Structure 1
Amino acid sequence: MKITCITILWSLAMVLLSDESQASKTEVRCNFTEKNYSFIPMDIHKDVTILDLSYNQITLNVRNIRTLQMYVLLTELYLIENNIFILHNNSFSNLSNLEILNICRNSIYVIQQGAFIGLNKLQQLHLCQNKIVQLDPDIFVPLQNLILLNLQGNLIRSFDVPQLFHLELIILHGNPWNCSCRLFNLQNWLNSSNVTLENEDITMCSNPDILKSYSIKTVPYKTECHSKFSSINEDLDVYFKSISNSTFNYSLNNITINSEHESFGKSWAFLVGVAVTVLMTSLLIFISIKCPVWYNFLLSYNHHRLEEHEPETSEDGFTGNSSPLSEIPETNSEETTVIFEQLHSFMVDDDGFIEDKYIDTHELHEEN
């Protein structure tokens, strides 16, 4: 009997020792806090399971993401208080064993759709004290085993129901919740599911003012909020009621003044254009009336070059053939005189001779 008891105790001791040794072998901790690192070190032990890179200057850029993919055995990753602004797609895609991810106290304002792809075993996600304004619930789809979601201390005003089937605890306080009809689905999910809202008493509505004393889980909603179509109108109505009258009037005055300035600026440009067009047209008309030099200049080119079959002009300026006036049938001498005088009035005659620029004077001198 004594031998049997001793054997049993020995076997139990060996099992406990084997479990402890196995745990010591699988758990490898690396602490790089407050090292002022901008990049994740590449010389970390490949078997690391718990990696703490908090209080550094890491940004999770492309280089850091590639380095992070090397540590496939990670079960816990801490990136508290770094310089992370964006969670890019596939940032943790190779960390299929990760169970705890803590990225609190950064400046995250964008989480891309596929940021959490590959985190099939993740149980705790901490995104507290960032600058998140809006979250697409579809980003949580890959997190099928998530138990705890921490969104405390962000800038979230509304939040659609996430697709988290195993979630047990959610932290939402410290956000400026707008308790309009858009938040009705979230409240209904919090009350009907098994999830627990931590710090429910301090997870309060920020607006409208009449609901600031209510928790987002207990705020009373009107029956209109149950309708999908009326929820939009209710949301807009609550939003405008939350704005003070002075702020609204000030904005309205600014809009009116800006519109008046804009219309005045456009009309001024139009009037200037019309005035310039009228002045230019008037100036051209005045020049054409008061300065007829251009008309006389054009008249001097009314003649044409003599054709080869036409007879040469004589020295007295008249052709051998009869004048064109003589070709006019049935014209008397008086009519011919009037026509000649009218033609002569348009000619500029200083010395009694008509100068034809097309006649070569050198040839005339040789002929003479």
Structure 2
Amino acid sequence: MKTISITILFWLLSILLLSDESQTSKIEVTYNYTAKNYTLIPENINKDVTILDLSYNQITLNITDTRVLQTYFLLTELYLIENNVIILHNNSFGKLSNLEILNICRNSIHIIQHNAFIGLNKLKQLHLCQNKILQLNSDIFIPLKNLILLNLQGNLISYFDVPQLFHLEFIILYGNPWNCSCSLLSLQNWLNTSNVTLENENITMCSYPDILNRYNIKMVPYEANCYSKFPSPITADLYHFQSVRDSTFNSSLNNLTSNSEHESHGKSWTLLIGVVVTVLVTSLLISIAIKCPVWYNFLLSYNHHRLEEHEAETYEDSFTGNPSSPSQIQDTNSEETTVIFEQLHSFVVDDDGFIEDKYIDTHELHEEN
């Protein structure tokens, strides 16, 4: 019995010691720098800070602020209410793995990059109220595995695609211009089928179309054709697979068709250009032949050539009708015979066939006769 009582005492003491250690490890270190007109997050804060309130300043959460925030890795709560934050950049809170509450309400945020909340594995509350957010990509919330409350009140959001594996307990959506057409049906189904609680449900109203502005987004009556546009969760994966398969087949078929059409169009254009060039060249040649007969006349008239010496002698003999003596031939050969033709006209129609030789002595011809 003594041994049992001793063991029980030791067990109780160990439990007390562990509880004391856990309480000491959860000591809150709070720094309040509200309304200090800061433009940057201060760097001289104790690195053991757990709660940091920088509300009502001029902080933009730029690259420098992001670098400083990485050093406060013990933060569990961060408040940036009413600052000048416009964009939430990628990896803005990358090393704040202990952060549980992030409040960035009353800024001018209109862009949230895809990996803005990466690293916030323990985040439970995210407040983005009263900003200028037009739409939200559902993938940005995927890293927030432990998120319980999402506050989107007072933005410019008209529709919201619920991300997969989204296990919220509370969501605040009022103050947005909700478009209650068929595109909001998925959000309504999620609100009605999940365990999430829509805060201020009675004032979370539709803005468009006008005939539905008296309904809250959770109670909008949809027509049957809206339900046909959204597949059930059971068949969603099958529908997605079929759509991908059909789109792949159609794209490949379209590529083949477009390629064949391009090839046929290319060949027809080549043939047409060849025919046009051939017709133009032929027409040009015909017009040159008709409009320029001078070349033709020149070719016809160009029939003479310079006579050689033996050809000149033969021609003289045939012209006089009497063969010359050898002495005469020698006398003739002693002198250089030159035959000159003068072309008076390029082409004469009534030519008698005789050529006038200026070197023929007309006096000798009369004596011989």
TM interval, shorter chain, is 0.5 to 0.7
- The residue aligned with 1:279 is none
Deviations for 1:116-159, whole angstroms, at most 9, x for unmatched residues?
A: 11000000000000000111111111000000000000000001
How far is the alpha carbon of 1:87 from its aligned partner?
0.8
1:77 aligns with 2:96: no
- 1:80 positional shift: 0.7
User: Which residue among 325, 345, 353 is the counterpart of 2:344?
Assistant: 325
Q: Output the CA distance in 1 between the equivalents of 2:176 and 2:19.
A: 48
In structure 2, do the counterparts of structure 1 residues 184 and 28 end up closer, same or farther at CA, with 3 Å as the change threshold? same
The corresponding residue for 2:60 is 59
Q: Residues 160 and 20 (structure 1 numbering): CA distance in 2 closer, same or farther, change over 3 Å? A: closer
Provide structure 1 residue ranges, at least 5 long, that are not aligned to the other structure.
1-6, 231-308, 310-319, 334-368
In the TM superposition, 1:125-274 aligns within 5 A as 125-228=126-229
Amino acid at match of 1:162: P
Matched to 1:170, the amino acid is: I
Letter matched to residue 138 of structure 2: P
SS at match of 2:67: helix
Which of 123-132 and 80-89 deviates more? 80-89
Give the CA deviation at 1:58.
1.1
Deviations 1:193-250 (A, max 9, x none): 10000000000001111111101001111111111179xxxxxxxxxxxxxxxxxxxx
Q: Give the corresponding residue for 1:287.
A: none
Shift of 1:330: 7.1
Counterpart amino acid of 1:94? Answer: K
Match of residue 24, structure 2, among 22, 27, 49? 22
State the superposition RMSD in angstroms: 3.1
- Structure 2: how far apart are the matches of 1:149 and 1:17? 32
| Runs of 5+ unmatched residues, structure 2 | 1-8, 232-305, 307-338, 353-369
Contact 1:140-1:164 at 8 Å conserved across structures: no
Indicate how the Cα distance of structure 1 residues 205 and 219 shifts in structure 2: closer, same or farther if over 3 A, else same: same
Alignment pair present for 1:45 and 2:46: yes
Query: Which amino acid in the other structure matches residue 96 of structure 1?
Result: S
What is the CA–CA distance in structure 2 between the aligned matches of 1:328 and 1:146, rounded to whole Å? 109
Secondary structure in 1 aligned to 2:37? coil
Structure 1 residues 29, 164: closer, same or farther in 2, change over 3 A? farther
Counterpart contact for 1:94–1:118, Cα < 8 Å: yes
**Greater radius of gyration (CA):** 2
What is the rounded CA distance, in whole Å, between the counterparts of 2:349 and 2:215 in structure 1? 116
Deviations 1:316-336 (A, max 9, x none): xxxx95542078667579xxx
Q: Provide Cα deviations, 1:56-110, integer angstroms capped at 9, x if missing partner.
A: 1111111111111111111000111111111111111111000000000011111
Q: Secondary structure at the match of 2:171?
A: strand
1:318-362, Cα deviation, whole Å (9 max, x unpaired): xx95542078667579xxxxxxxxxxxxxxxxxxxxxxxxxxxxx
1:329 to 1:129, Cα distance in 2 relative to 1, 3 A = closer
* Letter of the structure 2 residue corresponding to residue 153 of structure 1: G
Q: Residue 31 of structure 2: SS of its match in structure 1?
A: strand
Question: Contact 1:58 / 1:82 at 8 angstroms: preserved in 2?
Answer: yes
**CA distances 1:241-293 after superposition (whole Å, capped 9, x unpaired):** xxxxxxxxxxxxxxxxxxxxxxxxxxxxxxxxxxxxxxxxxxxxxxxxxxxxx
Identity %: 68
Tell me, what secondary structure is at the counterpart of 2:64? Answer: helix
- The amino acid that maps onto 2:109 is I
The alignment of Structure 1 onto Structure 2 pairs a total of residues equal to 237
Relative to the length of structure 2, the TM-score reads 0.59
The alpha-carbon distance between structure 1 residues 98 and 21, as it changes in their structure 2 partners (threshold 3 A), is: closer
Question: Helix, strand or coil: the match of 2:187?
Answer: helix
Provide the rounded CA distance (Å) in 1 between the counterparts of 2:17 and 2:58.
44
Normalised by the length of structure 1, the TM-score is 0.59
Q: Secondary structure of 1:94's match?
A: coil
Residues 282-306 of structure 1 show CA distances to partners (whole Å, capped at 9, x for unaligned) of: xxxxxxxxxxxxxxxxxxxxxxxxx
Alignment of 1:47-126 (within 5 A): 47-126=48-127
